[in-house]
């Protein structure tokens, strides 16, 4: 009989622990949902905070604490914002630091992420914001329409055949390694052009002169 009471007590303890954990997750979900609702009123300034909250909900699967099967189901039930918009904000948080994202704005930040993925160069959105150009002007200030058009043009130029894709993959790996090598030497590359028999690198003159002065 004592053994039975012990087993029953242990089972009750486990069930209570699970209930407490679920309650804590539900409380966290409710808190983040409330934050998103507050920030939506000032979405221009607060889009990054919304993205951070959504990222936490998705990563920890907090939506399950509210009885939802997925992030999409949670967003639909709570009527917070569209799934596509939520994915954009999560993408911004994943790829761009807060200061940079707030400086360029939500739409431009996401457009630059799309452009970085479309270009064959191994660049990132943060690189484009820091030193990239779009249509002859700094990427951080370029119109979203121009950035979107540049990304579309890059996608249209992407290699289609298996042989072309394989060649492009080799070129991207070569460029990535070259950029890393030069970055280790204190040089930031403006552009790299790879042809069948040559590799041409464009470097900012000021950076080269500074590196030579230290040599």
Place of tokens 């191994």: 122
Q: What is the CA radius of gyration of the chain?
A: 24
For the chain, give every domain's residue range: 1-95, 107-158, 159-214
pLDDT of 2 over the 60 cut = no
Q: Of how many residues is the chain composed? A: 215
How sure is the predictor about 38, in pLDDT bands with cuts at 50, 70 and 90? confident
Q: What is the pLDDT of residues 82-137, one digit of tens each?
A: 999 999 999 999 999 999 999 999 999 999 999 999 887 767 899 999 988 898 88
* pLDDT on residue 115: 93
More confident site: 86 or 170: 86
The pTM (predicted TM-score) of the whole model is: 0.63
- C-alpha atoms less than 13 angstroms from C-alpha of 44 in its C-beta half-sphere: 0
* DSSP per position, 108-146: HHHHHHHHHHHSSS---HHHHHHH-EETTEETTTS-HHH
CA distance 211 to 148: 35
Distance between CA 191 and CA 195 in Å, rounded?
A: 13
| Cβ count near 184 (within 10 Å) | 8
For 101, other C-beta atoms within 10 Å of its C-beta total 25
State residue 93's pLDDT score: 96
pLDDT digits (tens, 9 = 90+) for 18-33: 787 888 888 888 888 8
pLDDT of residue 49: 92
Model confidence band, residue 201 (pLDDT cutoffs 50, 70, 90): confident
Residue-level pLDDT at 183: 79
Confidence (pLDDT) at 63: 93
Residue 4: band (very low, low, confident or very high) from pLDDT cuts 50, 70, 90: low
Q: Report residue 212 as tokens.
A: 């030579």
pLDDT for the residue numbered 50: 92
d(CA 36, CA 46): 9
Between CA 76 and CA 82, with CA 81 as vertex, the angle to 5 degrees is: 70
User: What six digits make up the tokens of 64?
Assistant: 């399950």
């Amino acid at each position: 009989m004592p053994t039975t009471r012990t087993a029953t007590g242990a089972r009750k303890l486990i069930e209570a622990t699970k209930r407490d954990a679920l309650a804590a997750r539900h409380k966290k979900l409710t808190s983040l949902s409330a934050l998103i609702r507050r920030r939506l009123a000032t979405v221009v300034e607060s889009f990054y905070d919304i993205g951070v909250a959504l990222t936490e909900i998705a990563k920890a699967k907090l939506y399950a604490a509210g009885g939802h099967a997925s992030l999409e189901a949670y967003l639909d039930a709570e009527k917070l914002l569209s799934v596509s918009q939520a994915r954009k904000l999560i993408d911004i948080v994943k790829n761009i630091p807060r200061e940079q994202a707030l400086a360029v704005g939500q739409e431009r930040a996401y457009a630059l992420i799309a452009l970085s993925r479309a270009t064959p160069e191994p660049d990132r959105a943060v690189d484009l914001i820091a030193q990239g150009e779009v249509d002859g002007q700094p990427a951080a200030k370029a119109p979203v329409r121009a950035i979107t058009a540049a990304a579309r043009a890059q996608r249209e130029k992407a290699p289609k055949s298996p042989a072309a894709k394989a060649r492009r993959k080799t070129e991207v790996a070569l460029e990535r390694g070259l950029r890393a090598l030069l970055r280790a030497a204190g040089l930031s590359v403006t552009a790299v052009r790879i042809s069948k028999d040559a590799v041409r690198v464009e470097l900012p003159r000021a950076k080269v002169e500074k590196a030579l002065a230290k040599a």
